[in-house]
Structure 1
Amino acid sequence: MASSPLNPKSHCHARSNSLPSRPHPLILQCDQHLCKLAASDATSSSSSIGHKLNGMQDLHDCVEKLFQLPLTQQAIVQESQEKWVDEVLDGSLRLLDVCTAAKDALLHTRECARELQSIIRRRRGGEMELTTEVRKYLTSRKVVRKAIHKALGNLKGIEKKCTFATANKDHQTVALVSLLREVEAVTLTIFESLLTFISGPTQSKRSSWSFVSKLMQTKKVACTQEADANEFAKVDMALQSFMFQMTGKSDNINDLQNQLEKLESCIQDFEEGLESLFRRLIKIRVSLLNILNH
């Protein structure tokens, strides 16, 4: 039965029980990292996602070391015509593509947020210039969401099918293949969480107008909405409120600036984690290509 890479539950238990002999210590170490990630906080907060990105770096460091082992290289060379090798190669490129999509979304949002901050800090040009910049930011967020939804759609279309026949295969090779599949599945799951976090909640025009109506009616509802939102969504909501309020916009400027500063800090943390992870993914793909082209 096919399984989605976006649902890695129970990976660390199912595989270890199926192996009849003790795998290489590095495979066991990778297993430990996988289990830590599986047991990590399931909430979608900036701190929890940042923690998972750090855990992913440790995991892929371990995988990169695994590719340096002679037994791993020998298994890949001997099985180079097998479909699972192509799957691993395709998977390494897929991870790089998703990581790049996340990096681009953060970069685009950060650049627009800094432009907006610059206008607020200068306090020049009056409300008209600020309103124009707010519109630009909200438009850019639509572009970011569109790109993210496309990336998420591509992820959800991925199904991993069991194409690796274990008959006449040594236990180390079986463990290696199983591990690499799990690493891709968990990595894609965390990337999915990150992309969803950056995108924020999606709303139809009708629900969006309903939200604005509630914002206009009472500050209590606005505070409830904001309490449940992440750094990206809070800025979106603050700007939507700014655009739809006809009076008292200047009263919200300080709060908006505070939200933008928090957003920039969040983006910086994510970018640092993604850049470090991206370098590791590159090293793993290069190692794999070198083994196959040796």
Structure 2
Amino acid sequence: MACHQRSASAPSSPRSNNSEVEQQLQSLSATISATVDIDTTCDGLKKLEVIYSCIDKMICTPGNQVILCQTQQRNAVEEELGRSLVVLDLCNAMQESFMELKMSVQELLLALRRGEDACDQVKSYIRLMKKAQKQFKKISKKTVSDDKDCRVMMQMAEAREVTISLLESTCGLLSKQIEMPKCSLVSKTFQKTKFVCQEEKLRALESSIGDLQTGVEFLYRRLIHNRVSLLNILSL
């Protein structure tokens, strides 16, 4: 759970930035396609932050600024600004969901300590996950990629798609942490309404949700920074 650390650095030259972005996007896309866990997802969020940092450096190079100021590319910049709002909305929605999920897990832990029936808390967690997944699908439908001629804009579009895929996979991972009637954290006892939850694993889940929340928060800040760089292009 290392989302709190931000030690990765981006290369400085435009050419190395291009290479770094392409390699990182390919690697991250392959990771998302494979079976991932929460730790891998946290690492993916850190990689995305580095990717967007590399892209931001490319946007700010004089050569790319000249290209992006051209009429055709300015239109692409405006379109990407619109789509960047969708990703920001997704990050906001995810952060709100993480807060609600952490509270749900905390309530579940409290119920267990008191020896109370935890069925309602489990159902609450599941309802929150379904709500998050439904909201995610609603927001993510608003973004559609178009063909772009400029390399940096193509990479921005690809990074956006990878970001959406990673956030979507996060919803899927969290939804599987607590299920009814069988799952890794909750198991039925002899009474149908009784569940025995492993406190240690629930605490680990609470910590994981916190790490994911931190990772999305850092990513959100980086996306804001990239958006400012694009807005500066339009003001030239």
TM-score class normalised by the smaller sequence: 0.7 to 0.9
In structure 1, which of residues 46, 71, 96 is the aligned counterpart of residue 38 of structure 2? 46
Q: How does 1:275-286 map to 2 (within 5 A)?
A: 275-286=217-228
In structure 2, which of residues 205, 208, 229 is the aligned counterpart of residue 266 of structure 1? 208
1: CA distance between counterparts of 2:192 and 2:161?
Answer: 50
2:55 matched residue in structure 1: 63
The residue type paired with residue 33 of structure 1 is Q
The residue type paired with residue 192 of structure 1 is E
1:118 matched residue in structure 2: 110
2: CA distance between counterparts of 1:194 and 1:109?
Answer: 13
Is 1:155–2:124 an aligned residue pair? Answer: no
2:9 matched residue in structure 1: none
Is 1:246–2:231 an aligned residue pair? Answer: no
Q: Sequence identity of aligned pairs in percent?
A: 26
Q: Give the TM-score taking structure 1 as reference length.
A: 0.65
Instruction: Flag the 1:247–1:24 CA change in 2: closer, same or farther, 3 A.
Output: closer
Unaligned runs of 5+ in 1: 1-22, 167-173, 213-221, 227-233
Aligned-pair CA distance for 1:248: 11
In structure 2, which of residues 28, 32, 37 is the aligned counterpart of residue 37 of structure 1? 28
Instruction: Flag the 1:106–1:149 CA change in 2: closer, same or farther, 3 A.
Output: same
The residue type paired with residue 287 of structure 1 is S
Is 1:196–2:172 an aligned residue pair? Answer: yes
2:198 matched residue in structure 1: 256
Is 1:138–2:80 an aligned residue pair? Answer: no
Aligned-pair CA distance for 1:107: 1.0
1: CA distance between counterparts of 2:111 and 2:125?
Answer: 16
Instruction: Flag the 1:31–1:96 CA change in 2: closer, same or farther, 3 A.
Output: same
The residue type paired with residue 98 of structure 1 is L
2: CA distance between counterparts of 1:40 and 1:147?
Answer: 23
Instruction: Flag the 1:158–1:276 CA change in 2: closer, same or farther, 3 A.
Output: closer
The residue type paired with residue 282 of structure 1 is I
| Range 260-269 or range 38-47, more displaced | 38-47
Please list the CA deviations of residues 186-215 of structure 1 after superposition, one character each: whole Å capped at 9, or x if unmatched: 1111112112222339x9xxxx6xxx4xxx
Q: Give the TM-score taking structure 2 as reference length.
A: 0.79
Contact 1:64/1:280 (<8 A) preserved: no
1:20 matched residue in structure 2: none
The two structures, once aligned, show a CA RMSD in angstroms of: 3.0
2: CA distance between counterparts of 1:31 and 1:248?
Answer: 51
Q: How does 1:90-239 map to 2 (within 5 A)?
A: 90-121=82-113, 123=114, 127=115, 130-131=116-117, 134-156=119-141, 158-162=143-147, 164=148, 166=149, 174-200=150-176, 212=181, 222=182, 226=183, 234-235=184-185, 237-238=186-187
Unaligned runs of 5+ in 2: 1-13
The residue type paired with residue 52 of structure 1 is G
Please list the CA deviations of residues 133-168 of structure 1 after superposition, one character each: whole Å capped at 9, or x if unmatched: 641452353134123223124425643233x4x5xx
Instruction: Flag the 1:286–1:137 CA change in 2: closer, same or farther, 3 A.
Output: farther
Describe the SS at the equivalent of 1:246.
Answer: coil
Aligned-pair CA distance for 1:47: 2.1
The residue type paired with residue 289 of structure 1 is L
Number of equivalent positions: 222
Please list the CA deviations of residues 84-133 of structure 1 after superposition, one character each: whole Å capped at 9, or x if unmatched: 22221122111111112221111100012112323433x3xxx5xx22x6
2: CA distance between counterparts of 1:249 and 1:184?
Answer: 43
2: CA distance between counterparts of 1:69 and 1:56?
Answer: 20
Contact 1:144/1:199 (<8 A) preserved: yes
Aligned-pair CA distance for 1:283: 1.0
2: CA distance between counterparts of 1:138 and 1:87?
Answer: 41
